Chain A
């Protein structure tokens, strides 16, 4: 329905949004945000009594801070400090602090790097797809997903630095002439990787920031009204946003363009990450399926992480009337589809090797089954089990169950990354080179620190910026209205 067809006469469609939502009596039950109907509702209007209370409610995680939050942040800080200390030790004492050795020079660091790049994928991809397809249920959850992308990438970007050991030579990767009188070799997938991740990070940060603009203005006004310390940076970052027609018009166009651009960048990034492996002649890596397999794996773990985060936000900040059962249900359905595609790719890869029994490739699978059998079962079993369990709506709408299922998915996906890197390199060439590898305390401490770093970034973001995409929710309310069809009142939405 084109917005040209919006009727202004009061008898056709009840007035949409902006402080004057009038629901038909049949929908009044939804007005109570704590009611079951509201929590399962498909419409954001049901959490939207009036704009002021909506702003207060959704900005509450930002403006109210409990003592538990500080304790949590300090605990994260300790874990990060521990990881950083081990990293400093590794920098000064050398890569001997890790358990990597000939022929295995890519270990847990690279596996973790791939894991974090993968995690970053879903946030902006989901956000872009839902924006472009105008999926109405997307509205409140976009910011939380986009922030996840930005922070995952920040953490991922740290790992090549940790991995190279000699940090002071990192500038060799930049396209600058140096004392070797050589420019970086752009024929190396590692260079493509560095460029792609840098560009994806820039794009994701931009996407996140542009999406934040109108909500920053809401938070700015609240901070100024309450003389809160946040008013200084919020006034600066909101760029003087007033919500003029001109600003909205330009903003909407820019958001759509950025969504398309991000949608083009994201799959290329993980494809390029997969080429770090696939472009080598190493059996087990040198396969054409790696590009799409990595992209699907990334979206798979990313969506699972988005669900885990959403459920955590619901629990911690009591946002269950904003991030509703509906959102988890819809994301879970999306997760099932992606899980099936990922399992299909995994099976394709396995089946080809199994059928040909090519010694150098089949040997790796045998080695994996022998040395990492339990890991394999957790990874494959986790995926199959999650598909099976999520087929039931009761499970998809059970927050505790979904929290643990999505956690299991990501444990499985971390293992998957580990199994891509470690078994293949520890089983290279001649049998005398085959080796065992268990990450050292240094490696484990840095990896655990990276998880804490991600959580800390997210926790800080929650206190500095609005986590709910308020402007999108408001827009959804404006363009929706109640129409009576037969005996039923139905919420309709105008789509341009």
Chain B
């Protein structure tokens, strides 16, 4: 959807939000990625969005980066500690050029370092961060309000959705364009 319209409804209570979400979703036939709930704290997954098929896939893939980068770290550790000793051997107390304990220590540290970097990269990629562009948002959310944010195709649908959100208990409704 190149051009889309957004509606953000702000709710005071969790119950109201939980009741409104499936109704809005159904009324506008919203697919995953077209509806979001914005909160100031982490709610258990199934509380706010019942259908979490997409979220589940994202979570499964989230560990791919730490895993792959961990393997890269492992290789770097072996090359750095073992390879250096192999190519430019310094005799330390008669230890072999490729000594397992020092190589193991450096490899362990590098594996974890790269896994940490990988977890940050996956957080950024799968979390859609950073994103400093103007997006549908309201500072009331960090003060405890819950926001239902949806993406629709036309101005007409946008107005309809805004009315529906207000009827379902939203105390504030904001409309925007291309800012999902």
- Residues of A bordering B, CB below 8 Å: 3-4, 6, 8, 10, 15-20, 50-52, 55, 175, 181-188, 191-192, 195-196, 199, 202-203, 206, 210, 214, 217-218, 221-222, 224-225, 235-236, 239-254, 257-258, 261-262, 264-265, 268, 272, 471, 474-475, 477-479, 494, 496
Q: B144 and A50: CB pair below 8 A?
A: yes
Quick one: which of A235, A245, A496 has the most chain B CB within 10 A? A245
| Contact digits for B128-152, partner A, Cβ 8 Å, 1 yes 0 no | 1111110101010111111001000
The answer to whether the Cβ of B42 comes within 8 Å of any Cβ in the partner chain is yes
Q: CA separation between A242 and B180, bound complex, in Å?
A: 11
**Given A221-B139, A494-B44, also A245-B49 (CB < 8 A):** yes
Closest to B37 in A: A245
B41 within 8 A of A: yes
13 extra interface residue pairs, beta carbon distance < 8 Å, beyond A3-B46, A249-B42: A51-B144, A182-B90, A186-B81, A192-B106, A221-B141, A240-B130, A243-B40, A245-B55, A248-B39, A248-B43, A249-B55, A251-B123, A253-B62
Asked if A257 meets B90 with Cβ closer than 8 Å, knowing A221-B142, A224-B139, the reply is no
**Contact in complex: A55, B43 (CB < 8 Å):** no
Chain B residues with CB under 8 A of A471: 40-42
The minimal Cβ–Cβ distance linking A406 to chain B, given in whole angstroms, is: 30
| 16 A–B contacts from the bound complex (CB under 8 Å) | A18-B144, A181-B88, A186-B81, A187-B99, A188-B92, A210-B120, A239-B129, A240-B129, A245-B36, A245-B38, A245-B55, A254-B62, A254-B122, A258-B116, A474-B41, A478-B14
Residue pair B43, A182 in contact (C-beta under 8 Å):
no
B120 touches A254 (CB 8 A): yes
CB distance from A44 to the nearest CB of B (A): 11
- A475-B41 in contact given A184-B84, A195-B109, A249-B59 (Cβ < 8 Å): yes
Name the distance in Å between A219's Cβ and chain B's nearest Cβ: 9
Separation in Å of the B71 CB from the closest CB of chain A? 15
Instruction: Among B36, B41, B46, B109, point to the contact of A17 (Cβ < 8 A).
Output: B41
Shortest C-beta distance, B121 to chain A (Å), equals 10
Mask, B1-30, CB within 8 Å of A = 1, is 000000000001111001000000000000
Q: Which residues of B contact A235 (CB under 8 A)?
A: 132
The 9 nearest A-B residue pairs measured at CB: A51-B144, A474-B41, A239-B130, A3-B44, A221-B139, A240-B131, A250-B127, A254-B123, A186-B81
In the assembled complex, B115 has its CB within 8 A of some CB on chain A: yes
Q: Smallest CB-CB separation from B122: which chain A residue?
A: A254
- State whether A196 and B80 are in contact (beta carbons under 8 Å apart), knowing that A187-B92, A258-B119, A478-B41 are contacts in the complex: no
Nearest B residue (CB) for A10: B15
Q: Is B168 an interface residue (CB 8 A)?
A: no
User: Given that A187-B92, A471-B42 are known contacts, is A246 also in contact with B105, CB under 8 Å in the complex?
Assistant: no
With both beta carbons as reference points, the residue of chain A lying nearest to B95 in the complex is identified as A187
Q: A18-B144, A186-B84, A240-B130 in contact; A252/B42 too (CB < 8 A)?
A: yes
A280 to chain B, nearest CB (A): 11
B159 beta carbon closer than 8 Å to chain A: no
B77 to chain A, nearest CB (A): 9
Contact across chains for B102 and A186 when beta carbons are under 8 A apart: yes
Nearest-neighbour CB distance to chain B for A268, whole angstroms, equals: 7
A224 to B103, CA, bound (A): 50
Asked if A243 meets B44 with Cβ closer than 8 Å, knowing A50-B144, A182-B88, A268-B108, the reply is: no
Given A242-B38, A244-B149, A247-B127, the answer on whether A272 and B62 have CB atoms closer than 8 Å is no
Task: Check A8/B15 contact, CB under 8 A, given A240-B133, A243-B141, A244-B38.
Answer: yes
Contacts of B117 in A (CB 8 A): 206
Bound complex: CA A184 to CA B102 (Å): 13
Q: Is the CB of A246 within 8 A of B80?
A: no
